Structure 1
Amino acid sequence: MYYEGILYRPPSEARSVILQITVGCRHNACTFCTMYKDKTFRIKSRTEIKDIITAALVHNAKAERIFLADGDAIAVDTSLLLEILDNLYASFPHLQRVGIYGGPKDILAKTPEELAALKAHGLTMVYLGVESGNEEVLASVCKGVNPKQMIEAGEKVKASGLVLSCTVIIGLGGLSLTQAHALDTAHVISTIDPEYLGALTLMVDPEAPLSKAIEHGDFQLLTPWEALTELRTMLENLEVSHCVFRSNHASNYLPLRATLPADRAELLKTLDRVLEASSSEELRPEYWRGF
């Protein structure tokens, strides 16, 4: 396989064949993220991509799932993405699903017709990093869009028929904005109404720009209990029609799985029990947490 640098993928793509059709992240400005800071964004050439697909066939010709990397591969020109999708389904006889990261600005740059065409040619799932629904938080972490634009991007994906998986980051507003972050994020996710929702808990790499704000005392990280309280507030105020929820990423203090809204009462009961007990034995140890 042809990979440049470290690869990142959603947890649900663990068993997928990863095809790196772009390198890095076009936006690459978020202050909490260091994943692509060592890469210069570029879209690979048709020749490179054909070679990647050929290598993937040798690696796993029976692949049922494929994920297109890097950070926001949906930035690739739609005509090339359609070629890639057609090639994949022609080459992999067992292929059932193709996923892709989609940055909000790059989703907004696509027309409804383009997104519908991607769906028609076999793109299955788009992963959107919402991170927060609070305008101040989104601006402070340099996400590049405001809540209204984030909602528009999510609704645009949903309208095309593509499956949408959103990610939010618990603790991204720090202690000062924890309540606003929780409530506004619940509002944005409720409005988008994605099929999947993943909650990560903020961990800050020493090389991330946000680490300087922490060092200077301008940003206060949440304690495990504050993070769980923020998560509970968000979940309590979330109104979705049918959403598979996961907070079992390595960054989370308490792994949780549920289908919302059906399991909401049980989910809140679990969080209340853990918060009331205030026992660190219930939580993932700090040294087990990871990005």
Structure 2
Amino acid sequence: MRYEGTVYRPPSEAGSLIIQLTIGCARNTCTFCNMYKDKKFRIRPLNEVAEDLEMARNYYNRIQVRRIFLADGDALIVKTEDLLYIIDKCHEYFPEVERISVYGAPKDIINKTPQDLRRLKEAGLDMVYVGLESGADEVLKDVKKGVTSAEMIEAGKKVREAGMVLSMTVISGLGGKKYWQEHALGSARVISAIKPEYVGFLTLMVEPGTEIYDQVQRGEVELLNPQEVLDETELFIRNVDAQGTVFRSNHASNYTALGGTLNGDKEKILAQIEASRRRSSFRPDSFRGI
């Protein structure tokens, strides 16, 4: 395999074969993200991607590859016919594969027709990861996500209606002290409207080199402390209505680990929050990382 730059993948893809179908992020405007700042976005030639799959098969000739993740940040921007070709190649070289997944930018999903998404699902694209980040339009605008909460809902529903598994992420603390309530309530509203199979909470990591880092340094954004992050999470849990959605807040960036399945485990999750609040035992910033 040939990798360009740092390769990122969702935590649940730790054991997956990662193949770069695209390089970087097509939009790359989010104020909090430094993942692809060193890359100029492009779609790789399909023959190169197919060659990487062949190389991977030769390398893993005695290993069963059950999962493949098509990186980088915008695989769904690729034309549907080209995506179908690569998915077919995944199955050709790895007939044992059980799951193929991608990051899906909301605008890329919206630009696909329902028929496109169904064809991709039928071909073997099983799971899409979408960075919701926030369901509050004020926050989405401030962090330059480039979409509205209504567009987030449209994209999420299209993935679910196509029969793909949908995993969405929310970033705790992204609205700062100014918009923490809007962030919690808006995110609860969007997740309630979509009801994805999974929702994972990360906690904002302010990295040097990002626009939000400079905003914090200038005092334009005031960050939440760990107790305030718990308050925000509690407000989300009390207002979300997403029966069957698996909720996790156990990422390396989180101050404390929470988890359960909505809506049945709401009281359990609230009890976890209260226990963390009483203990005031949080992961130190020096141990938080992505």
TM-score range, shorter chain: over 0.9
1:255-274 pair list within 5 angstroms:
255-274=257-276
Matching residue's letter, 2:91: Y
Matching residue's letter, 2:98: Q
Q: State percent identity of aligned pairs.
A: 50
CA offsets 1:55-104 (integer angstroms, 9 cap, x no match): 21123242000000001211111101001111111221210000100000
Query: Among residues 193, 202, 205, which one is paired with 1:203 in the alignment?
Result: 205
Which residue matches 1:3?
Answer: 3
CA drift of 1:255 comes to 1.4
* Separation of aligned partners in 1, 2:274 and 2:258: 13
Which residue matches 1:289?
Answer: 288
* Separation of aligned partners in 1, 2:59 and 2:201: 32
* Separation of aligned partners in 1, 2:60 and 2:197: 28
* Separation of aligned partners in 1, 2:261 and 2:288: 24
Matching residue's letter, 1:92: F
* Residues 1:54 and 2:72 aligned together: no
1:1-291 pair list within 5 angstroms:
1-61=1-61, 62-277=64-279, 279=280, 282-291=281-290
Does the 8 Å contact 2:256/2:276 carry over to 1?
no
CA drift of 1:257 comes to 2.3
Does the 8 Å contact 2:202/2:253 carry over to 1?
yes
SS in 2 for 1:198: strand
* Separation of aligned partners in 1, 2:16 and 2:42: 23
Gaps of 5+ in 2: none
* Separation of aligned partners in 1, 2:175 and 2:271: 25
* Separation of aligned partners in 2, 1:46 and 1:67: 16
Matching residue's letter, 1:155: K
SS in 2 for 1:124: strand
SS in 1 for 2:125: coil
Does the 8 Å contact 2:258/2:273 carry over to 1?
no
Q: After TM superposition, what 4+ stretches of structure 1 lie above 2 angstroms from structure 2?
A: 58-61
Give RMSD over aligned pairs: 0.9
* Separation of aligned partners in 1, 2:59 and 2:173: 39
SS in 2 for 1:99: strand
Report the number of matched residues.
288
* Separation of aligned partners in 2, 1:12 and 1:59: 23
CA drift of 1:50 comes to 1.2
SS in 1 for 2:214: helix
* Separation of aligned partners in 1, 2:146 and 2:82: 25
SS in 2 for 1:5: coil
CA offsets 1:173-219 (integer angstroms, 9 cap, x no match): 00111011101110011101100111000011110011111111110
Matching residue's letter, 2:152: M
Report the more deviating stretch, 60-69 or 121-130.
60-69
Does the 8 Å contact 2:243/2:264 carry over to 1?
no
* Separation of aligned partners in 1, 2:287 and 2:275: 22
SS in 1 for 2:257: coil
Matching residue's letter, 2:80: T
CA drift of 1:31 comes to 0.5
CA drift of 1:276 comes to 3.0
Matching residue's letter, 1:145: V
SS in 1 for 2:256: coil
* Separation of aligned partners in 2, 1:33 and 1:104: 16
Report the TM-score when normalising by structure 1: 0.97
CA drift of 1:149 comes to 0.6
SS in 2 for 1:200: strand
* Separation of aligned partners in 2, 1:80 and 1:252: 37
